[in-house]
A and B are shown apart, each in its own frame.
Chain A
Amino acid sequence: MKIEPFGQSAVLISFENEIDRAVHNKVIHLYERCKRHPEFTFLIPAYQSLTLGVDLNAIDLTNALQFIQQLAQEEDLSQTLRHVRKITLPVCYAPAFATDMPQVEALTQMDFKDIIQEHQTHSYRVFMLGFVAGFAYLGKLPQVLQVARKATPEKRVLAGSIGLAGLQTGIYPVDAPGGWQIIGRTPVSIFDASKDNPNFLRTGDEVSFRAISEDEFRLIEIKQEAGIYEPELEKDA
């Protein structure tokens, strides 16, 4: 673990330089410990790092570095995560939503049916919320689904779109520009500005995908508008 100042009022804590659940567990444990302390004005948990804002009126940077070191030693950061939320996201992989499927078929040399099957087979960790309004970065993708980003990003990718890029699969929370290869769309509202926690997903969640028809897509949309949609969510003991 490396702890260093980042600018004059933030601290960067980095773990092993890899994308892996075991490394990310450390980030989450330290994030959970630090977020209880008001000295830290903001927290950005990422794949293998945690960025913390420091309230310099409460603690100076040198003492903050020591304090974080101390917090990190108070528990075993490597232990597995508890109370993980397991979310199943319905995804419609129909051509109308899977705008880049032909490209992904060409890149992976797989049939779209196998791509959809493979995408649903695994469970993915939410490693990070970032980009715009909490774009969810999930991983890791099995090797067969790892494709490069588009050379030229699209100006507008619609909210709910599910994309592939390198080791990651991601969900667009709002309409945004982007270069991920889009293979489907979820009708579930990922970002709701009327809520205190506008993002449905949280860093550390485990997400799997379930293929749905276009009819079920519409049905879920209608249920959401009526406020009667129940997310498919269970919590680990």
Chain B
Amino acid sequence: MPKTIVTIKEPGLYTSIQDNGRTGHQHQGIPFGGVMDKESYHIANQLVDNPIDTPVLEMTLKGAIIEFDKSCQIAITGANMQPSLNNEPVGSYTTLNVQAKDILRFGQAKQGCRTYVAIRGEWKAKKWLGSFSAISQMKDHKNIPCALQAADSFSVEVFPFTEQRTYPIQKISLFSNCYVIRVISGPEFHLFHSDTLLNFFDRTFTVSTDSNRMGYRLEEKLEAYSNAVEKISSGIIPGTVQITHDGQPIILMADTQTTGGYPRLVNVIHEDIGFAAQMKPGDEVRFMLVNPE
């Protein structure tokens, strides 16, 4: 099968290979990992007719410059980073044919935070514990995938071209600068004072710059909240919203550590985790309590 070598000319802010991650290794303290926005991930692979669990490139806020040495098919989904191919603007949410030596270039996301690039074929890259996903907090381990740097490359065994597909424009998620995230009550919900709960659901929070694949810190602290009692550490999962001792909410995301000692106020519902993954620093977010059904 022909093989295209994909070279990262410039990595952008944080570009990594991601797939479904490493669910099943958490008893060893290994993060779940995997794509932050699953919906955009699945659509990207569908558009190039890849198996659903094929890895993709995930870019953050500022995209990469990527060179393909052979022709192949790709699809771009998620946040709009004004993609161009050899300096000609190209569309997202559609199958694109790339020629040998083409250069795919991304700019900055105005709305949304993460952009995905699927490449049709079988990816040949570093794999650890069954997954291609880079782990953001584990650098310098030769067996473990990490974020892509300038001049890094990997190859994809290209499948024969499939027919061009376009994802219906009316079904594409619109990202804004303002999000309402639906949550259900978490294990320590009942331990919070009703004033604190009202304060949490009444107010608009701002996504802090101190946010990454491990979690989103929110800038505003809960009013009149203090908790000096350290809870005995227990399991935490992506989507858990924990409250630090001085009242700062943190939404845990894909690369979260597996255990933590802060009270777990609520959990983001599955349907909204991908949305949350598209929030960027400075965006506004509110929480809406829903019934788990």
* Contact surface of A with B, Cβ cutoff 8 Å: 4-10, 12, 14, 17-19, 31, 35, 41-51, 53, 128-135, 137, 166, 173-176, 193-194, 196-199, 203
Contact = CB atoms under 8 A, between A and B. Distances in A.
Contacts of B138: 132-133, 174
B153 interface: no
Interface string B166-194: 00000000000000000010110000000
B270 A44 contact: no
Contacts of A53: 23, 26, 237
Given A5-B292, A134-B28, A18 B233 contact: no
A171 to B, nearest CB: 12
Interface stretch (B59-67, B97-105, B112-120, B141-149): B141-149
A131 B28 contact: no
B237 A133 contact: no
Contact of B237 (A6, A19, A48, A166): A6
B30 interface: yes
A201 to B, nearest CB: 10
Contacts of A10: 235, 237
* From B141, B144, B264, residue with most partner A Cβ within 10 Å: B141
A42 B259 contact: no
A132 B23 contact: no
A51 B234 contact: yes
Interface residues of B, number: 39
Contacts of A48: 232, 234
A134 B28 CA distance: 5
A12 B235 contact: yes
Given A44-B27, A51-B237, A53-B23, A17 B143 contact: no
Given A45-B27, A46-B235, A8 B143 contact: no
Given A132-B257, A133-B29, A44 B267 contact: no
* From B25, B141, B234, B269, residue with most partner A Cβ within 10 Å: B234
Contact of B232 (A18, A35, A194): A18
B143 A194 contact: yes
Chain A to chain B: the 4 pairs with minimum beta-carbon distance, closest first:
A51-B235, A130-B259, A134-B29, A44-B235
* From A5, A51, A194, residue with most partner B Cβ within 10 Å: A51
15 contacts: A6-B235, A10-B235, A19-B232, A42-B24, A44-B258, A47-B232, A49-B235, A128-B259, A131-B29, A131-B258, A132-B138, A132-B257, A133-B30, A193-B128, A193-B141
A134 B30 contact: yes
Given A6-B267, A41-B24, A130-B258, A46 B233 contact: yes
Contacts of B29: 129-135, 173, 199
B240 interface: yes
B137 interface: yes
Interface string B29-57: 11010000000000000000000000000
Interface of B: 23-30, 32, 128-129, 137-138, 140-144, 184, 186-187, 230, 232-237, 239-240, 257-260, 264, 267, 269-270, 292
A234 to B, nearest CB: 22
A35 B25 CA distance: 11
Contacts of B258: 44, 129-131
Given A12-B187, A132-B137, A31 B237 contact: no
Given A44-B258, A174-B141, A7 B237 contact: yes
Contacts of A50: 235
Contacts of A129: 27-29, 258
Contacts of B137: 132, 176
Contact of B187 (A6, A9, A176): A6
Contacts of A134: 28-30
Nearest to A134: B29
B27 A43 contact: yes
A134 B31 CA distance: 9
